[in-house]
Amino acid sequence: MARLLRNVLLFTVRVTLKIRVLGFWALVYSCCAFYTCIVLLKLLWSIIRRPLKTFQWVIRETPPACLNDTSLGTHCYVRIKESGLRFHYVAAGEKGKPLMLFLHGFPEFWFSWRHQLREFKTEFRVVAVDMRGYGESDVPAGREHYRLDYLVTDVKDIVEYLGYSRCYLVGHDWGGMIAWLFAIHYPEMVNKLIVLNCPHPTVFTDYTLRHPSQLVKSSYFFFFQLSRFPEFMFTIDDFKAIKYLFTSQTTGIGRKGCQLTSEDIDAYMYVFSQPGALTGPLNYYRNAFSFLPLKQEEVKSPVLLLWGERDAFLEQEMVEISRLYIKNHFRLNIISGASHWLQQDQPDIVNTLIWTFLKEGESRENYRN
């Protein structure tokens, strides 16, 4: 009798698990279909209003001067033996100083950390990377090359190539997601973790599946699962979507923020207008669902979480929940009026808060390598 009950219980568990998996993927594909219909309607409306301009775009051949600004640092390259990929990064500050590594989000590249490169190069060896598939870094073909474990290993390989065993890790958006995971899996390599507008990975997945409002805000995740069509939509009206993300009233930098200059915008347009420049970044999203839901993992490093109050993509309720997964000192700062693009929106406030966090528990002149 006991054996029969055990078999029934195991069968029930397996069936329940399969139903949950089927339900999860049904939700993914339903959201994908729904958001695709919305995008198609927007495309149709654009064609009706401006039929000629809709399908015009330009590949920028000359980078704007700001991308070669020597005050930001030196352009360098590293080829990782294990993966064979070449990564581009911009570095400043003396090589013997502690490493501060910056990981950008979507759709960004190393340039999004320009304000922090200037600020922290006096006390650190600051390095802002073009992550796998972005900018001048290699773009491996196929979504299977953008697994989360590969992205995390990239960070480990880069830190070690630079000659360090530990770093102060700073990440925003997708870079924040990778930074969280790196701190979870390689706690011995992270002195302190600083994340901007990205909740703990487990919080994000659990919260999104339980809150329809966040599911709606994350609907672009589902649209990006399609092949080629999202890349095409970004080219509409000469990459208007890229500019819109950073400058519109709903998603862009706020009125009180540090507005992007025309040259800053040109830098983004230059990078993402290059042939194939959007496929690598979009493959981060296309591969994300293969690893959901994530295990509940704790972070052992001290953590600073900075959050722009006007984030149009992520709900603020996830911020406090992230505290539950941190088993060390945790500091949270919510910046009023700031957008999702926090380090570009309010660089002075962000830099001050980072300095305060860095000085907690250790003097500014005595950082650990």
Tokens in use for 267? 């830098």
Spatial separation of the C-alpha atoms in residues 293 and 200, rounded to whole Å:
13
Whether the Cβ atoms of residue 305 and residue 328 lie closer than 8 Å to each other = no
What radius of gyration do the chain's Cα atoms show?
21
- Identify the burial level of 67 via C-beta atoms within 10 angstroms of its C-beta, where 0-12 means exposed, 13-18 middle and 19 or more buried: buried
Spatial separation of the C-alpha atoms in residues 253 and 247, rounded to whole Å:
6
Q: Which phi and psi angles does 72 have, rounded to 5°?
A: -85, -20
Spatial separation of the C-alpha atoms in residues 40 and 29, rounded to whole Å:
16
Spatial separation of the C-alpha atoms in residues 191 and 70, rounded to whole Å:
28
Q: Which residues are known to be catalytic?
A: 173, 285, 340
- CA torsion sign, 271 to 65 to 196 to 170? positive
